Amino acid sequence: MTKGSLARLYQKYELRNSQVSAYIRQILSGLNYLHERKVVHRDINCANILVDANGFVKLADFRLAKATALNDIKSCKETPYLMAPEIIFIFLNLLSDCIVYR
């Protein structure tokens, strides 16, 4: 049985600090596991993190995941509204040779 996504839990309940801490540890452990195997998830957000009835976290939605060398993650595949600002700036710098005419 599942509790649902972390997004749903966050909307429905007030999570205790101890719960948040446990979830974060599990998420980071899962990401570490993926990165050790040269897999980049590329769409981590609360809707893609599932929590079961025992409080165990599972990473979900690997449609945008990519098996790659970790230093080769310059393709833009993340959920745009959830992309970190520093990532957006990387792509803006890559496009800096574009000329805009008015």
pTM listed for this prediction: 0.61
Distance, CA of 20 to CA of 16 (rounded, Å)? 6
Residues 67-83 pLDDT 10s: 665 455 455 555 555 56
Query: Is-catalytic flag, 43?
Result: yes
Q: What is the pLDDT of residue 41?
A: 73
Catalytic residue among 43, 52, 61, 72: 43
**CB contact set of 78 (below 8 Å; sequence gap of 6+):** 42, 43, 64, 87
Output the six-digit token pair for 13: 């309940």
Strand ranges (DSSP E) for 1-102?
Answer: 2-5, 39-40, 49-52, 57-59, 66-67
**CB contact set of 23 (below 8 Å; sequence gap of 6+):** 6, 15, 49, 51, 55, 57
Which CATH superfamily hosts domain 2-94? Transferase(Phosphotransferase) domain 1 (1.10.510.10)
Q: What is the pLDDT of residue 18?
A: 93
* Domain-wise residue ranges, the chain: 2-94
- Mean pLDDT for all residues in the chain: 73
Residues 22-53 pLDDT 10s: 999 999 998 888 888 787 777 778 888 889 99
